[in-house]
A and B are shown apart, each in its own frame.
Chain A
Amino acid sequence: MYPSRFRYEAPRSLTEAIGLLHTTESAGDQAKVLAGGQSLVPLMKLRFAAPELIVDINNLPGLDYHRADPDGTIRVGALCRHADLEHSALLASTQPTMAAAAPLIADPIVRNRGTLVGSLCHADPQGDWASVVVALGGSVVAQGPGGRRSIPADAFVTGPFENALAPDEIAVEAVIPPPQGVPAGGYLKLERRVGDFATVGVAVALDTAGGTVTRAGIALTGVGGSTIAATEAGQALTGKVLTAEIIEQAAGLAAQAARPRTDHRGSAEYKRHMVRTFVTRLLTRAGQAAEAERAA
């Protein structure tokens, strides 16, 4: 299978890349950014996407980083691959939700090319990173002809396969705010086989101090038309100790927030049940960790 015909540019600077997007857009043509290509190239081969211009950003210097600022803010550049995050010592020691999700994205070969930022831009309701970044209260930094702006992750994904970027904007990094205490949580994904998209995915991101939850975010993958922020479930945890009652309440609220549909991956009822189970599991684990931290 071939994509339909397109022009190809591989600029060496961000300014040049944005310029290409801008002029193509102004001429009434569609331009697409190519990052890892692990969603875009298959779509182009199937002719679901047929842009006139491909702006390959893989040659842009200095975007393959992921790092922590002195205050604990985590920044993931547009060319940081899933595999970089899977093998990241930084995430393993500081960010349990991201560390848990990275090895569950696609398969090892796809992880070598696909990017976290590309995954956010692709806005697949079954994309795992969007839930993780939403649960963490993260944001996306976009750069266009007029400069940079920051877009909160829950406003960045505007619908299935739709994001808040203007056609001449490039997402340059994803930003995770510093923790308000000790980070806890994780990511659980039900998949039919290794490397498959989620039947159900649940991201839980908590910060705890002295056994009390100071901040909580819960987001759901694959159980709605786009990534779901289970805001009420998160709110139910804030300021609380993770007792069995509190956990049950939050798991119930998260299950209510899910909008699953019956499909080849499972029935709506089953998926909703799995949301409840996963939230319970993740919070129970986090509760035990917080208890250990308090005892220490």
Chain B
Amino acid sequence: MTTVYDDRGEQAAATDVPLRRIAFTINGARKIAEVEPRLLLAHLIRRGLGLTGTHLGCDTTNCGACTVLVDGKAVKSCTMLAVQADGHEITTVEGLATASELHPLQEGFRQEHGLQCGFCTPGMMLSAKALLDANPSPTEEDVRWALSGNLCRCTGYQNIVKSVLWAADKLRAAGNGAGGEPGAGDGSGAGEDGSS
């Protein structure tokens, strides 16, 4: 990806920028990028790939808004270097839905009103996805614990927890081949991404 610097007339500046070529997979698509080592994964995702569903909240590793999955594990993308994605598989919120269907987590957040401003929502969903992938039948306590690194300034968390439990039910029902829950998504989208 291209990074543009101010030209402050320093001779060496232009040749000084060390670039690394990396190859990685994001939401199932294989990519190659040329990045400066100090570029953060969050910036590669948002600016290099234009996937602005990954939000930067605090930029200080506290809020979890920037959470993505790296090889299935929740990671704060503001605190990982983009070069470290080399050889790894990234999932962002854009990787949850298919062209025609919302992911059960996205549906759950819509059904249970799991968001207000929506800023924390992508990070919440990815932490929740990592939880449900590892534990399809979480208790409320399990959900609260798994989301304890993701801060929300709006909801008071109650409906977020309900949303994740809703999704867990739905995913279990689907896994058992027992058909969907009432109100299955029609893919019309509900604006879960919030502003970016």
Residues in A lying within 8 Å of B, measured CB to CB: 1-8, 10, 34, 37-38, 41-42, 44-46, 54, 56, 58, 83, 106-110, 112-113, 194-195
Contacts and interface: CB of A to CB of B under 8 A. Distances in A.
A27 to B, nearest CB: 16
Contacts of B86: 10
B80 to A, nearest CB: 6
B54 interface: no
A8 B76 contact: no
Interface stretch (B91-99, B145-153, B158-166, B183-191): B145-153
A6 B81 CA distance: 12
Interface stretch (B24-32, B57-65, B103-111, B167-175): B57-65
B81 A8 contact: yes
A107 B149 contact: yes
Nearest to B5: A5
B76 A110 contact: yes
Contacts of B74: 108-109, 112
B75 interface: yes
12 contacts: A1-B59, A5-B17, A5-B38, A8-B81, A37-B79, A42-B61, A45-B60, A58-B84, A108-B146, A108-B148, A109-B127, A112-B73
Nearest to B88: A58
Contact of B37 (A1, A7, A58, A113): A7
Contacts of A109: 64, 67, 74-76, 127, 149-150
Contact of A41 (B18, B64, B80, B150): B80
B81 A194 contact: no
Which 4 A-B residue pairings sit nearest by Cβ, starting from the closest?
A: A107-B149, A8-B37, A109-B149, A194-B148
A42 B86 CA distance: 21
B40 interface: yes
A41 B127 contact: no
A241 to B, nearest CB: 37
A190 B104 CA distance: 37
Contacts of A110: 61, 76, 149
B20 interface: yes
B7 interface: no
B83 interface: yes
Interface of B: 16-18, 20, 36-40, 59-61, 64, 67, 73-76, 78-81, 83-84, 86, 127, 145-146, 148-150
Given A10-B86, A42-B79, A58-B84, 11 more contacts: A10-B83, A10-B84, A37-B79, A45-B40, A108-B146, A109-B74, A110-B61, A112-B73, A113-B79, A194-B148, A195-B149
B38 A2 contact: yes
A108 B150 CA distance: 9
B61 A41 contact: yes
B18 A8 contact: yes
A24 B114 CA distance: 50
Given A108-B74, A109-B127, A112-B73, A41 B81 contact: yes
A37 B37 contact: no
B176 to A, nearest CB: 26
Contacts of A5: 16-18, 36, 38
A108 B151 CA distance: 12
B38 A3 contact: yes
A112 B75 contact: yes
Contacts of A58: 84
Given A1-B59, A109-B75, A112-B73, A6 B37 contact: yes
